[in-house]
Amino acid sequence: MQYGITAGENNLRDLTARHLQKQDGVKPSAASHSADRLMITGGSQQLLYMTLEALCDEGDIILVEDPTYFVFLSILQSRGIRARGVKLERDGIDLAHLEMVLERLKKSGELRRVKALYLVTYFQNPTGASTTFKKKAGALKLLKKYERAAGHPLYLLEDAAYRELRFAGNDVPSALMLPGANKDVIYTGTYSKPFAPGARIGFGILPGPLFTTVQRIKGNHDFGSANLLQQLLAHALQTGLYHQHVAKIEKRYGRKARVMKQALAEHFPANVEIWESGGGLYFWARLPGKISAGVDSKIFQAALKADVLYVPGELCYADDPARRKPANEMRISFGSASEDNIREGIKRLGNVLKKFVK
């Protein structure tokens, strides 16, 4: 019931490091997965915020997937940090477009303001897309290529919040497995999504110098995450309760995803493109042509009147002057809804869409 350690309770740090080592199939001695560089935070959200506080000045640039996690965009906005979008494909970012963006920033003289590339690599929020290991390697290689021109490290910031919510396919190694990861990769994860959202316990592995800076910022924030909650998480990991619960959650979300997939096939217009995922909490829908599903659209207002809520896809795109934000997409979540509500909600939303999508 006392204050803990700023970087996190040592036992939980060790247990978390071992958990990541097992996921990536590395030995406990692996420096890339060392508990010495692992920090426990108030959810992964705090780790993301503190990392940006350490890395960025106002006006700096973070590269993001197009689209990306809209709350991360809010963090950038709150700190006066600019975002530049990189096209997202179903297997991760478009590497050719990443190089094009980096080259464009180099020619404009703005590459020195770029600090990191942010990727949600597992069952991405909002699209459900996952990044292949090959694309992680390609992205880090490109960042290394442009580091000299930037004049400082260009970090790969991997957000793995949804990694353990897999209900189909095989796991993909993290970017911590890439050569040079000790210096250039920041890895964030959480116990909130797979175990207990209310516990607000996340974690991150950072390069040594950055770890030291973020740890000082963490001390200014809260002296360390809630010690009682950390002890509870450590107990769950040690006793096997954590892994038992995650297995149940995976099956439960897998069932909900199948229910939503069936409902989408039954009720959505056939010309609406659906991105299906093997994990996570979301489906991504793209309407044909220039039909808008944005906040001010007739579709969104009609959905609200039908007591159905989705996230307009336009909210998930950075304010990037190089392109217009698409407005014809939507994120649909099956996370907290019951199976009956999923069926009814998709039916109602499908009826709305049929009035506007021909």
User: Would you say residue 244 has pLDDT above 90?
Assistant: yes
Q: Name the pLDDT band for 3 (thresholds 50, 70, 90).
A: confident
pLDDT digits (tens, 9 = 90+) for 322-343: 999 999 999 999 999 999 999 9
With helix as H, strand as E and coil as C, how does the chain read? CCCCCCCCCHHHHHHHHHHHHHHHCCCCCCHHHCHHHEEEECHHHHHHHHHHHHHCCCCCEEEEEECCCHHHHHHHHHCCCEEEEEEEECCEECHHHHHHHHHHHHHHCCHHHEEEEEEECCCCCCCCCCCCHHHHHHHHHHHHHHHHHHCCCCEEEEECCCCCCECCCCCCCCHHHCCCHHHHEEEEEECCCCCCHHHCCEEEECCHHHHHHHHHHHHHHHCCCCHHHHHHHHHHHHHCHHHHHHHHHHHHHHHHHHHHHHHHHHHCCCCCEEECCCECCEEEEECCCCCCCCCCCHHHHHHHHCCCCCEEHHHHCCCCCCCCCCCCEEEEECCCCCHHHHHHHHHHHHHHHHHHCC
Same domain, 167 and 104: yes
What is the structure's pLDDT at 10? 96
Beta-bridged to residue 159, according to DSSP, are 120, 188
What is the structure's pLDDT at 198? 85
| Count of other CB atoms within 10 angstroms of residue 126 | 29
Same domain, 179 and 318: no
Between 1 and 112, the more confident residue is 112
CATH number at residue 82: 3.40.640.10
What average pLDDT does range 109-116 have in this prediction? 98
Distance of CA 66 to the CA centre of its chain: 12
Judge whether 296 lies within some domain: yes
Judge whether 192 lies within some domain: yes
Judge whether 177 lies within some domain: yes
pLDDT digits (tens, 9 = 90+) for 81-101: 999 999 999 999 999 999 999
> Of the residues 222, 239, 256, which one is the last residue of a structural domain?
239
What is the structure's pLDDT at 46? 95
What is the structure's pLDDT at 2? 84
Contact between 349 and 308 under an 8 Å Cβ cutoff? The reply is yes
> Of the residues 239, 255, 279, which one is the last residue of a structural domain?
239
Beta-bridged to residue 273, according to DSSP, are 286
Judge whether 5 lies within some domain: no
What is the structure's pLDDT at 99? 98
What average pLDDT does range 308-320 have in this prediction? 97
CA atoms within 13 A on the CB side of 136: 27
What average pLDDT does range 22-45 have in this prediction? 93
What average pLDDT does range 194-201 have in this prediction? 88
The separation between the first and the last C-alpha atoms of the chain, rounded to the nearest angstrom, is 61
**Tokens read off for 305:** 């009147």
User: Would you say residue 199 has pLDDT above 90?
Assistant: no
What is the structure's pLDDT at 192? 92
| Count of other CB atoms within 10 angstroms of residue 149 | 14
Contact between 115 and 60 under an 8 Å Cβ cutoff? The reply is yes
Same domain, 140 and 163: yes
Same domain, 287 and 308: yes
What average pLDDT does range 287-306 have in this prediction? 96
Same domain, 213 and 289: no
User: Would you say residue 29 has pLDDT above 90?
Assistant: no
Query: Largest Cα–Cα distance in the chain?
Result: 62
Whole-angstrom distance, CA of residue 6 vs CA of residue 154 = 26
What is the structure's pLDDT at 330? 98
Same domain, 234 and 248: no
Computed over every residue of the chain, the mean pLDDT equals: 96
Same domain, 124 and 148: yes
Nearest 5°: CA angle at 54, between 48 and 40?
45
Judge whether 342 lies within some domain: yes
Same domain, 221 and 262: no
CA atoms within 13 A on the CB side of 67: 28
Domain count, the chain: 2
Contact between 237 and 15 under an 8 Å Cβ cutoff? The reply is yes
What is the structure's pLDDT at 293? 97
Same domain, 192 and 253: no
Residues 6 or more apart whose Cβ sits within 8 Å of residue 69 = 120, 124, 125, 126, 159, 316
User: Would you say residue 289 has pLDDT above 90?
Assistant: no
CATH number at residue 312: 3.90.1150.10
The whole model's pTM is what?
0.96
Same domain, 75 and 125: yes
What average pLDDT does range 13-32 have in this prediction? 94
Same domain, 277 and 304: yes
User: Would you say residue 159 has pLDDT above 90?
Assistant: yes
> Of the residues 220, 239, 258, which one is the last residue of a structural domain?
239
Q: Name the pLDDT band for 299 (thresholds 50, 70, 90).
A: very high
Domain that holds residue 32: 10-239
Percentage of the residues of the chain whose pLDDT score is greater than 90: 94
Judge whether 4 lies within some domain: no
What average pLDDT does range 138-152 have in this prediction? 97
Same domain, 232 and 159: yes
What average pLDDT does range 263-283 have in this prediction? 96
